[in-house]
Amino acid sequence: MAFRKKGLCLLLGLIGIGTAAMGQDKQIVVQAVDGRNGKPIANQHMLVFGGDSTEAVRQQKNQYELTTDKDGLATLTLVPGTQWLQVWMDWHVLCQSEHNSKNFPVKDILVSGLSTPNNCSSVSEKAAPGHLVVFARPERFWEKMRH
């Protein structure tokens, strides 16, 4: 009888550990880089929109607010089921066509890492698995005036 109790406790413990491991939140490191010179964009406020589809991202279903550290890094903890991301940066223009409207697949970011396009210069940055490198530049005076 005692053997059965121990076996049952062990089984329940293993099920609990497996469930906890499956329910762990996924994290992505977002790295903000000045697309003109490759320097980190420190203390930068970013909005990241996520969702299970590109349409959900457009509708801004899940919104994350991040602030980069002195090295331009911020950690994003994803809501379970998030498959796509889109990044916006305050007072900066992303160095890609279709500013603030390009979605990035979470699967690719987690597996191999991803760098956004950089149309601001030839600066590039190789992303490690779990990292999203975002290239941007400060807004110009007339771009700021449009706000």
Tens of pLDDT, residue by residue over 106-130, are 999 999 999 999 999 999 999 999 9
Phi, psi of 117 (to 5 degrees): -60, 150
Strand partners, 35: none
The confidence band for 15, taking pLDDT boundaries of 50, 70 and 90, is very low
Tens of pLDDT, residue by residue over 30-39, are 999 999 999 9
Tens of pLDDT, residue by residue over 67-91, are 999 999 999 999 999 999 999 999 9
Strand partners, 113: none
Handedness of CA 93, 139, 88, 122 (dihedral sign): positive
